[in-house]
Structure 1
Amino acid sequence: MRARAARGALALIASLSAAGCQLVAGIDAMNVDQSAGGVVGDCGPVGARCGGTCEDGTYTPPGTCRDDGTCSAEPRGCGPYACDSSGTACAASCSVFGGCADGAVCDTMSATCMACGASPPDPAPCDGCEECRGGKCITRCDTEGECVRDWMLDAREQPARLECNDQCNNMSVVCIGPHPCEVVCGDGGCQGLLMRCHDGPCYLECSRSGCASNVELQCGTNICAAACILETTIIVQECGSSCSCMSQVCQ
């Protein structure tokens, strides 16, 4: 009788010991941080895969869960780029349809994003220009009837400048290329002018009676500015998603 009682007591002690071990193991698996008073991290089981995501311009590369409940992969920003359409990486290029983070602009000629206000690559020497001054390829409209059609201002290789003196009326100017593109209107010029920034930064200047009516500057996604001498004109700017544009200037 005594032997059976002793064996029963030993069995009870053994079962309590096993339950205690399971309880300790369960608490250890929860990974409790006593200092914080709660569970550390939410990564999942140790060794589980984590990361491989991109959200709000922050990319976390693939990694594994550590024993403290955090992911081994460190998140990093995408710089001037947005996350790609899959949400798993930073965009590697851009276009007129997007790819750049807020405050950045796309140089569509090279499909790269630049921070607003960033300088484009160093230009090549002026080549095949009417005049080269200050590193700008300058074209002048100074003869009657010379500039009465649609005009492409080529800023792909170097900054481009179109100077109009009583010319450029009722015409459109499209700026192509990542380098600065300028249209400067003198007395009586640029009535009914439409200037469109396709790729890079654009600048429109009107002096005295230049740009007296129906002048529009379409900025798109580009750095964009306009100025008036003597403030005798009104230039309406369509900002689009430009990071440096006022809706209307030179009133």
Structure 2
Amino acid sequence: MNDLDLRALAARGALALIVSLTAVGCQLVSGIDGMNVDPSAGGVIGDCGPVGTRCGGTCEDGTVTPPGTCRGDGTCSAEPRSCGSYACDLSGTACATSCSIFDGCVDAAVCDTMTATCMACGASPSDPAPCDGCEHCEGGKCVTRCDTEGECVGDRMLDAKERPARLECNGQCNNIRVVCIGPHPCEVVCGDGGCQGLLMRCSHDGPCYLECGRSGCASNVKFECGTNICITACLLETTIIDQECGSSCSCMSQVCQ
């Protein structure tokens, strides 16, 4: 056998070896792809990870998943649950348990800052205090009436911290600022000819209501909502109110243009 024959034989042998190794490699990969991973041996199933691996322990978008372990079907043993009216805490692992004017509640809820609890939009604390010391008491609501010229001037604070508060302006309350404070409902009711140039500023944590009768609120009226529900109601459709909803969880203008 000459050198040419030897070189040809060597080339055929090398080619056969490459083809053989390629086939073995393909069979090996195919075998791995078709292999059934034994969950009891800690194999990877689904998205959770090896069986027994810790999972959960997270809170996102008002939904918390407690710590758990990965199961054989690739799911976590811990079931996610809603935080309710509360948002996730700063750690991102649990629901918040209290709130402030700045954070702690989901968008559809507001914080009662007196008790640091989250309430549904429009809800008010239960068991309001008796309206001792009020000008009038109607159904547990502290009512102040402005009937005499010059009686209600300057800045007025409606204290709704412990009970609902209501200011009735019968032709009065012109060019004044009314500020609501507290988580209970706060109301301003403007009679005929009253509340010209009124600025009403709602509490951040209490429902707010402005009612304008006939020529009440006829000019330059501004209604600033807080983060709770605010409602504007007018007897005449021609009444114009500059209503700023801001971050109110429910801002409604009824009839007013």
What TM-score bracket applies, with the shorter chain setting the length? 0.7 to 0.9
Question: Which residue of structure 2 lines up, in the alignment, with residue 8 of structure 1?
Answer: none
Give the partner amino acid of 1:135: G
Letter in 2 for 1:99: G
CA separation of 1:128 and 1:188: change in aligned 2, threshold 3 A: same
2:71 matched to which residue of 1? 66
- Residue 36 of structure 2 aligns to a residue in which SS? helix
CA distance in 2, matches of 1:81, 1:178: 17
Pair 1:208 & 2:214 matched: yes
Q: Secondary structure at the match of 2:143?
A: strand
CA deviation after TM superposition for structure 1 residue 165, in Å: 1.5
Which deviations, in whole Å up to 9, do the C-alpha atoms of 1:201-240 show, x marking residues without a partner? 0000111111111111111211100111133421221111
**How far, CA to CA, are the matches of 1:76 and 1:172 in structure 2?**
44
Deviation at 1:27, TM superposition (A): 3.0
Match of 1:222 among 220, 228, 234: 228
- Indicate if the aligned counterparts of 2:165 and 2:187 stay in contact, CA closer than 8 A: yes
Deviations 1:50-91 (A, max 9, x none): 111111211001122233322221110011112223321112
Q: 1:183 aligns with which of 178, 181, 188?
A: 188
Task: Indicate if the aligned counterparts of 1:182 and 1:204 stay in contact, CA closer than 8 A.
Answer: yes
The residue number in structure 1 matching 2:38 is 29
Letter in 1 for 2:213: S
Distance 1:85 1:247, change over 3 A: farther
The equivalent of 1:51 in structure 2 is 56
Match of 1:105 among 107, 110, 114: 110
Matched, 1:92 2:101: no
Please say which structure displays the higher CA radius of gyration.
Answer: 2
Question: What is the TM-score normalised by the length of structure 2?
Answer: 0.79
2:135 is aligned with 1:130: yes
Distance (Å, rounded) in 1 between the aligned partners of 2:144 and 2:253: 28
Q: Give RMSD over aligned pairs.
A: 2.6
SS at match of 1:28: coil
Q: Larger deviation: 208-217 or 66-75?
A: 66-75
Specify the code of the residue in structure 2 equivalent to 1:126. C
| Structure 2 unmatched ranges of 5 or more | 1-27
Q: Please say if residues 128 and 162 of structure 2, whose CA atoms lie closer than 8 Å, have aligned partners that are also in contact.
A: yes
Aligned-partner SS, 1:245:
strand
Q: Which residue of 2 aligns with 1:153?
A: 158
Question: d(CA) in 2 for partners of 1:141 and 1:200?
Answer: 23
1:185 to partner: Cα distance: 0.8
2: distance between equivalents of 1:193 and 1:85?
Answer: 40
Partner Cα distance (1:165, 1:111) in 2? 36
Find the counterpart in structure 2 of residue 143 from structure 1. Answer: 148
Work out whether residues 237 and 246 of structure 1, in 8 Å CA contact, stay in contact via their aligned partners in 2. Answer: no
- Structure-2 separation of matches of 1:106 and 1:249: 29
TM-score of the two chains, using structure 1 as the length reference: 0.80
1:233 aligns with 2:239: yes
- In 2, Cα distance between equivalents of 1:88 and 1:160: 40
Residue 146 of structure 1: how far off its partner (Å): 2.1
| AA partner of residue 201 (structure 2) | R
